[in-house]
Chain A
Amino acid sequence: MELKYLFKPSTMAVIGVSTSQDNHPANVIYTKNHLRYPVKTFPVNPKGGTLHREKLYQSVFDIEERIDMAVIAVRAEFVPKVMEDCIKKGIRGAVIVSGGFAEAGNTVLQQQVVDIAREAAFPFIGPNCLGIYAPDYVDTFFLPGERIIRPEKGNVGFVSQSGGVLVDQMVKFAGQGIGVSLAVSIGNKAFIRETDMLDWFAKDIETKVIAFYVEGFEKGEGRRFIQKTEQCGKPVVILKAGKSKKGIEAVSSHTASLAGDYRVFSEIMKQHCVAEADNEYELTSFCEALSCFQKGINGNIGVLSLSGGHGVIAVDACELHGLSVPRLDPKTMVTIREKVSPEIRNIISLGNPLDLTGSSVDNDIVVTATYLARDKAVECLLCLLIPYSPGVSADIGAKLSQVARNEGKPMIAYVPNEEKYRIIIEGFELNDIPVASSVEGAVLMAKALKRCRPC
């Protein structure tokens, strides 16, 4: 099944635009795409006439051009007929934003739509969804552009069962400078489901990490999902909602009561290297880390800080999140002591965490990071870079990024998220080093790398 016409359409029909309500979902979708996206967009309403001086098409058959994708925003009971028209017209897929299907108890109507689509091999997203945000291509979210915050184009693919969670996550991604390749709200997921999206993302060269917000799978679908994540070869992050223990009917065996639904889910994700995020903050941190580094680690962290307190906080957080802060090779410590400036040689704390103190200068930090990275016990560097001391220059982000690249080990930075330090943050981020806005956030990023390893 070909999904490129859905996610990278050149032409799109928006079916169900209102002639009287400018804030009707279909109108919002039509307007934003017509004005701001490269996709050529055609509004459809059986009444015909004009909409803002543009031609309003009475049906898809009146559009002369070939149409790649349709947004269907008509009342639920009209959807089957509209979909049949789309299929006849040769449209290659649809987003059904309309609600009033299974979520409202109308499973028969939903099944009717699915049957029509299956017979014609006509993929659709939804119903009851926001649909697709594909930067540079199309945006079917029926939310006015001025109301939402969209992340830049990037390499995270995100799929959500909930439209609200998706939009909110977009805001968080944008705030952390995480870009998306494609974000899809799959709603009732009557046709396109998580497993189909895995197939798409596996082949999509613009996507390096795939994230999901999932409430539940169908019978046996969890197993298929796991099989596909293994085939796909890209890191997968998942946030599961609905974790509370459901009453298990007729608990007649110990095992059934020990293995509640969520425990099974969570342990299997670990078994198969799917990075399960405990909450939305972890989801954001995991995506940011994995968008920079796709290879997992066993969890051995080297902590470099310019303040003793930050080092200790980081070590505590590492322990809380199941990461190790290993002892360094004595040779590493001897070398670092030799290489740093004489002024700080006797005041630094050598070990892990390693505290260079507020008297250190750029070169001390760079040299120390280099030898820390060369220590065999360390798999990933946490650089807690508080930029308050005068010896730290604005170039430190870019300089440390080069160390990570030269030494071939992942590095994660903490820099306070303030406009004043933007140049340092960008020095890291533009060089593919993720930056957290808290020490714990940096530790969560390291946890993401560990979660991508078999447990």
Chain B
Amino acid sequence: MLKNKIRTIIDAHKDLGWVLEPDAKAIMKSQGLDIPEFVLTDSFEKAEKFLKKINGPVVAKAVSKKILHKTEHQAVVTGITSGDHLKKEIERLKRLDGCEAILVEEMVQGLEVIIGAKNDFQFGPVVVFGIGGTSVEIYNDTAIRMAPIKPDDVSSMAASLKAKALLSGYRGKAGVNMEILTHTLVKFSQLIMALEDDMESLDLNPVICTKDRCIIADARIILKTA
């Protein structure tokens, strides 16, 4: 059963066919998954206040019903540290096609993974997990499991990746917190079971994994067409 809140968001996006990033993240948060601190605004002042509060780099993104793949439309700017830079980018982002608001988020550094879901014709909801980022389709270093999954499935998925050493820590870099990653994937697999009737596919890409957190940096839910 879907929580009421999730149901409302999904229903509101049926016509669009996909769920906008801030709403998709709200769904993830309601499932107990970690999302970055953010402010959703069209005012530079509010954004700047957020930047000061975070006291670190932020990411700014255009929220637009017309932009499904943000990178391809230059709708994502990372590593913003100054008010001037933020102002310039917000003004540019606002001019992008259909931009409704700007999502400004804390920027977290860590290993980029993809956590995805597909509503498979033969098997129903399946979880995809692997090395994420914008080159994900080039490397396709991913593992697939039928949802819902158990903690053991997460271990076996991680072990099957070519880049598994990146998860456990490589060349002095800290590894990923496997306990939190496991929690994230298991919870996610339960969510996609609940979304079976609504969801066609779902990307959390990237999810930034560190030794303490697994934070969903971007989320997109593609809904089933009626």
List the A residue with the shortest CB-CB distance to B122. A222
Which of chain B's residues have a CB closer than 8 A to the CB of A253?
116, 118, 200-203, 220, 222
- Comparing B39-47, B52-60, B137-145, the segment that makes contact with chain A is B137-145
Known: A254-B203, A255-B201, A454-B152. A222 touches B123 (CB 8 A): yes
Question: Do A268 and B156 touch across chains, with their CB atoms under 8 A apart?
Answer: no
Question: Do B126 and A264 touch across chains, with their CB atoms under 8 A apart?
Answer: yes
Question: Do B128 and A217 touch across chains, with their CB atoms under 8 A apart?
Answer: no
**A222, A255, A258, A268: which has the most chain B beta carbons within 10 Å?**
A255
Question: Do A254 and B120 touch across chains, with their CB atoms under 8 A apart?
Answer: no
Chain A contact residues, CB within 8 Å of chain B: 216-223, 226, 252-259, 261, 263-265, 267-268, 271-272, 454-455
Q: Mark B187-221, 1 if CB is under 8 A from A, else 0.
A: 00000000000001111010000000000000010
Which of chain A's residues have a CB closer than 8 A to the CB of B123?
220, 222-223, 226, 264-265, 268
List the B residue with the shortest CB-CB distance to A218. B122
Question: Do B124 and A258 touch across chains, with their CB atoms under 8 A apart?
Answer: no
**A216, A220, A221, A256: which has the most chain B beta carbons within 10 Å?**
A256
Contact of B137 among A223, A258, A261, A455 (CB under 8 A): A258
Question: Do B144 and A455 touch across chains, with their CB atoms under 8 A apart?
Answer: no
Known: A220-B122, A222-B122. A259 touches B205 (CB 8 A): no
Contact of A226 among B117, B146, B156 (CB under 8 A): B146
Known: A255-B201, A255-B203. A264 touches B156 (CB 8 A): no
Question: Do B160 and A255 touch across chains, with their CB atoms under 8 A apart?
Answer: no
Distance (whole angstroms) from the CB of B135 to the closest CB of chain A: 10
List the A residue with the shortest CB-CB distance to B121. A219
B167 is an interface residue with CB less than 8 A from chain A = no
Q: Mark B101-140, 1 if CB is under 8 A from A, else 0.
A: 0000000000000101110111110101010000011001
List the A residue with the shortest CB-CB distance to B221. A253
B153 is an interface residue with CB less than 8 A from chain A = yes
Question: Do A261 and B116 touch across chains, with their CB atoms under 8 A apart?
Answer: no
Which of chain B's residues have a CB closer than 8 A to the CB of A272?
146
Which of chain B's residues have a CB closer than 8 A to the CB of A271?
145-146, 153, 156
Q: List 30 A–B pairs whose Cβ atoms lie within 8 Å, in order of A's numbering.
A: A216-B122, A219-B122, A220-B122, A220-B124, A223-B124, A226-B123, A252-B18, A253-B116, A253-B200, A253-B201, A253-B220, A253-B222, A254-B116, A255-B114, A255-B117, A255-B203, A256-B200, A256-B201, A258-B116, A258-B130, A259-B118, A264-B123, A264-B126, A265-B123, A267-B143, A267-B144, A267-B145, A268-B144, A271-B156, A455-B156
